[in-house]
Amino acid sequence: MTFELRTYTAAPGKMEALLERFRNHTTKIFPDHSIHDIGYWLPVEDRDTLIYLVRHEGDPESNWKEFKNDPRWVTARAASVANGELTLTISSVYLTATDFSPLGP
């Protein structure tokens, strides 16, 4: 099992649209591609950043490839960026749980 910590920096004035896209589309499509939500956070002192943790079943790269080709995602993304990209940067770190982690290996 692989976890992934992702950090998005929203484009100026686009955080609410980014959250709306996650709330209404992304989180509903993830499970169909073996991507499972753990949690989403907004740093207290940086309201232009979204940090989230997911768990992957199988190969994360394959999961993302399938997700990005899902017609529901393609449509939702296109609609959400009609007035400009929602993010400036996206970073990702793949993680493996330790044997003493509450989330388990």
For the entire predicted model, the pTM comes to 0.92
Instruction: Give residue limits of the domains in the chain.
Output: 2-95
| Tens of pLDDT, residues 63-101 | 999 999 999 999 999 999 999 999 999 999 999 999 998
Nearest-5° angle of CA 7, CA 1, CA 61? 55
Rounded Cα distance between 88 and 95, Å, is 23
Look at domain 2-95 and name its CATH class: alpha beta
